[in-house]
Structure formats: structure tokens, C-alpha cells
Amino acid sequence: VERCSGITHRLLGFARRMDVQIESIDLNKLVTEVYSFLEKEAFHRNIEVRMELADELPTILSDRGQLQQVFLNILNNAFEAVTDRGLVVIQSREQDGDTVAVSIRDNGIGMSEATKKRLFEPFFTTGKARGTGLGLSITYGIVKRLGGNILVESAEGQGAEFTVLLPRQTAEVAGG
Ligand SMILES: Nc1ncnc2c1ncn2[C@@H]1O[C@H](COP(=O)(O)OP(=O)(O)OP(=O)(O)O)[C@@H](O)[C@H]1O
Ligand SMILES: [Mg+2]
């Protein structure tokens, strides 16, 4: 337990220390790029991926590399949750004048109430031998640091939807 705790703290500390590099980002383009990393898997497993991207999405000021990691983690989880021939929908929209939202929805196995309570904890995984359980804890840390938030809606057997809310301006990046 001590060793694991040491590893987590180093990993999370590493993510926390990574310099935030703010630039203007087209989120539609960014999620499309991230999806292209998984396109082959979608093809081979016959997963339908539907892009519902807002036409005139405002650009945001944020950190490109860190956001790529966020959406890769969430998309990976969606791919793990669906069976072959499953459906994943990637949607973007202007939430309000200050906030842009990207939702990733799947029609996979969904989550129990117990899992929903713990899914952002480091090392929490239901992934038998494969998962480390670090994906969402790191994702959550990044989004919070960029001034955003993550909402989760899911029920057992009913799929899941992760919504990442991001400020158009990253005014003050919390140090840590
Ligand atoms: N789209 C989803 N559908 C159903 N369950 C999910 C979904 N996304 C996350 N979860 C649940 O949350 C848990 C934690 O996710 P997290 O990404 O942190 O770890 P992991 O995917 O198990 O491992 P790793 O990301 O290290 O490969 C998962 O094991 C799974 O139980
Ligand atoms: Mg994961």
C-alpha cells in the first residue's frame, strides 16, 4: 500500500507539475484528432462513432496536450465499455457565453451507483487485470486545473455520458 501510494503521488505530482501551456484551441479539431488515434480500433470492432460537432464553436484558451490526454482517456473508456458494434457519440456545443462543452456518450455496460461514487479515485478500476485505474483520476485533475469540470451520467446497463466543461478563457490556473 505504501509503495502504491508513493507511485500515485509521484504520478499525480508529475501531472500537476507539467507546465500549462495556454494557446487558442479549436475543440472540434482537437477531438477529431484524438479520435483519429482510435479510428482503426473503431473500424476493426465495428464501433459506430458519431460526431455531432457544433458549427460555430468558439475557440478556447487552454492546454492542447493536456486536453488531448483528457479526451483520449474518456474515449478509451467508452471503447472499453461498449461491445463490438457499439455506439459512441462525440458532441460539442457552446454551453453558455463563458463555457464550451464536449460530451462523450456510449451505449456500453454503464455504471452502478457504487462505481459512480468512486470512478475518479486513483487506482479505482473495474477493469479486471487490465486497467490501472489512473485514467480518470488524472483526467479529473487536468480538467480542474484548466478551470473546468466533468459531469457523469450513467446507470447500470444504460451506457454512460461524460461531459467536459471548459472555460473559454483560462484566467487563473491553480498552482499545486
Ligand atoms: N464509459 C464508461 N462506461 C462504464 N464504466 C466506465 C466508463 N468510464 C469509466 N468507467 C468506470 O470507471 C473506472 C475507472 O476508470 P479509469 O479510466 O480511471 O480506469 P480504467 O479505465 O479502469 O484503467 P486505465 O484508465 O488505467 O486503463 C473504470 O474501471 C470503469 O469501471
Ligand atoms: Mg481508463
Taking the centre of ligand 2 as the mean of its atom positions, its distance from the CA of residue 176, in whole angstroms, is 24
pLDDT at 6: 72
Q: Which SS3 state, helix, strand or coil, does residue 100 take?
A: strand
Residue 79 C-alpha cell reads as 471503447
Q: Which of 70, 119, 130, 164 has the most ligand 1 atoms within 8 A of CB, as the residue to mutate?
A: 119
Locate 49 and state its grid cell: 462513432
CA pair distance 51, 66, nearest whole angstrom: 21
- Residues 1-35 pLDDT 10s: 777 777 766 766 666 666 788 999 999 999 999 99
Instruction: For 120-149, write each residue's pLDDT tens digit.
Output: 999 999 987 778 899 999 999 999 999 999
pLDDT number for residue 29 = 98
pTM: 0.90
Cα 14 to averaged position of ligand 1 atoms, centre (Å): 21
Q: Which pLDDT belongs to residue 106?
A: 98
* Residue 171 pLDDT grade (very low, low, confident, very high; cuts 50, 70, 90): low
**Spatial distance between the Cα atoms of 45 and 19, rounded to a whole number of angstroms:** 37
pLDDT digits (tens, 9 = 90+) for 68-122: 999 999 999 999 999 988 999 999 999 999 999 999 999 999 999 999 999 999 9
- Looking at residue 176, what is its pLDDT? 43
CA distances from 80 to 50, 91, 109, 120, 124 (A): 17, 19, 9, 17, 15
The answer to whether the CB of 125 is under 6 A from ligand 1 is yes
Geometric angle at alpha carbon 157, from 151 and 163, rounded to 5°: 15
β-strand pairing of 149-154 with 87-96: unpaired
Q: Which atom of ligand 1 is nearest to the CA of 74?
A: 8
Bridge partners, 87 (sequence order): 48
